[in-house]
Amino acid sequence: MKRVTLLAEVQHDLCRGCKVCEKVCPVLAISVSDKKAKVKADECRGCTNCESRCPFYAIKMVKREEPFTIGVDASKHDPNTIRELCEKAHLNPEQILCYCVGVRAEEVAAAILEGAKTPEEVSSRTGIRTGCTIECVQPLLRMIEAAGLELKQVENGWQWYGITPTAWTLPETVVEKYNKRGFYFQEDRDLLDRVVNTKREGEEI
């Protein structure tokens, strides 16, 4: 859940239509046409990515006159279904995926169950990846893949580049090679699985 208080505003006299803003927006709220960037105000989540990456300083963040809150209520969904999806991605439903915004795995799962099919759609609904836009992308991609959805990057976009290996997906040849050098991959997996399978007090599944 996120309180959206900022809005990207384009200074058209400085904009060169380079499309950097379009390539880095995590919710696809800004696009370039007729060599000028245009912001969809109701879709902007105030992450400041476009402002910080514009090479011509043509974008500034302004306070919204009417801030609003985005988020998905996981309690409206069957907890078993939420947990099943999270565990398939090797995540605990209560695990915080986005520390900037405070989005938990269960909220991402709920967004997917409500029809979000891409990282950009999940980000728009929950606010995940609209803080630093970096650290939480990997668990987000894992959640989408666990739901059986196709991960398709935005054409020419820089929003994300693909899933990185995890303790569960490392090739066995790599595991065997580095186990001999003092790495404990199986122990790591076992510990992480304990975190994944930890349940709320009183939860029965």
pLDDT at 46 over 90: yes
Residue 63 corresponds to which amino acid?
A: K
The C-alpha atoms of residue 36 and residue 18 are separated, in whole angstroms, by: 8
What was the pLDDT predicted at 179? 85
Is the pLDDT at 205 greater than 70, yes or no? no
Residue spans of the domains in the chain: they are 2-70, 74-164, 165-198
CB 59 within 8 A of CB 11: yes
How many helices, marked H, and strands, marked E, lie in the chain?
Answer: 8, 6
Q: Write out the CATH class of domain 2-70.
A: alpha beta
Q: How far apart, in whole angstroms, are the C-alpha atoms of residue 92 and residue 88?
A: 10
Determine the pLDDT at residue 84.
Answer: 96
The pLDDT of residue 202 is 59
The predicted model scores a pTM of 0.89
- Tell me, what's the pLDDT at 201? 62
How much of the chain, in percent, has pLDDT values that exceed 70?
97
- What are the strands, taking DSSP E only, across the chain? 2-10, 30-33, 36-39, 59-70, 96-98, 103-104
Tell me the Ramachandran region of residue 82: left when phi exceeds 0, alpha when psi lies from -120 to 50, beta otherwise: alpha
